[in-house]
Amino acid sequence: MTMTLSLRKFALTVHVIVSVGWFGSVAAFLALAIAGLTIQDAQMVRAVYFGMLPITRYVIVPFGLASLITGVISSLGTEWGLFRYYWIVIKLVITVLSTIGLLVHLKPINYLAGMAAMSSLSGADFPTQIQLVFVSGVALLALLVATALSVYKPRGLTRYGWRKQQERRKVSQQS
| Digit-coded pLDDT (tens) for 134-150 | 999 999 999 999 999 99
Specify the pLDDT at position 125. 80
Specify the pLDDT at position 128. 87
Nearest CA-CA partner of 102 in 175, 170, 52, 32:
52
Nearest CA-CA partner of 133 in 51, 53, 35:
35
Specify the pLDDT at position 119. 78
Specify the pLDDT at position 59. 97
User: pTM of the predicted model, to two decimals?
Assistant: 0.89
Helix, strand or coil for residue 116?
helix
Specify the pLDDT at position 1. 66
Specify the pLDDT at position 12. 93
Give me the numbers of helices (H) and strands (E) for the chain, helices first please. Answer: 7, 0
Distance of alpha carbon 9 from alpha carbon 3, whole angstroms? 9
- Which ranges of the chain have pLDDT less than 50? none
| First-residue to last-residue Cα distance in the chain | 21
